Amino acid sequence: MRSEGEGCRTVPMRALDGVLGDFPLIINTVPALLLDAHRLRLLRKKALVLDLASKPGGDAAGVTSI
């Protein structure tokens, strides 16, 4: 994949839980909820999430406790 040639890594959705803590930067383009409250807790404490997905987006932006 081109993203991997650029030094990025794509991850199958079924494997997200096992790798989310590995990355300081998460870029999402999938217009579906991928990063729910459970998955947000798996991220690094200072991870940056760029959600470029169209509505409804791909993260639980309204989550107040993770």
* Structural domain includes residue 36: yes
Residues 60, 56: Cα–Cα separation, whole Å: 10
Q: How does residue 61 score in pLDDT terms, banded at 50, 70 and 90?
A: low
Per-residue pLDDT of 1-26, as tens digits, reads 566 667 777 888 899 999 999 989 98
43-44-45 Cα angle (round to 5) = 110
Residue range of the domain that includes 32:
2-51
Domain count, the chain: 1
* Structural domain includes residue 56: no
* Structural domain includes residue 59: no
Q: What is the average pLDDT value for the chain, to the nearest integer? A: 80
- Cα of first residue to Cα of last residue in the chain, in angstroms, is 33
Whole-prediction pTM value? 0.69
Q: Report yes or no: 52 and 27 within 8 Å, Cβ to Cβ.
A: yes
Residues 28, 57: Cα–Cα separation, whole Å: 9
- Tally DSSP H helices, then E strands, for the chain: 3, 2
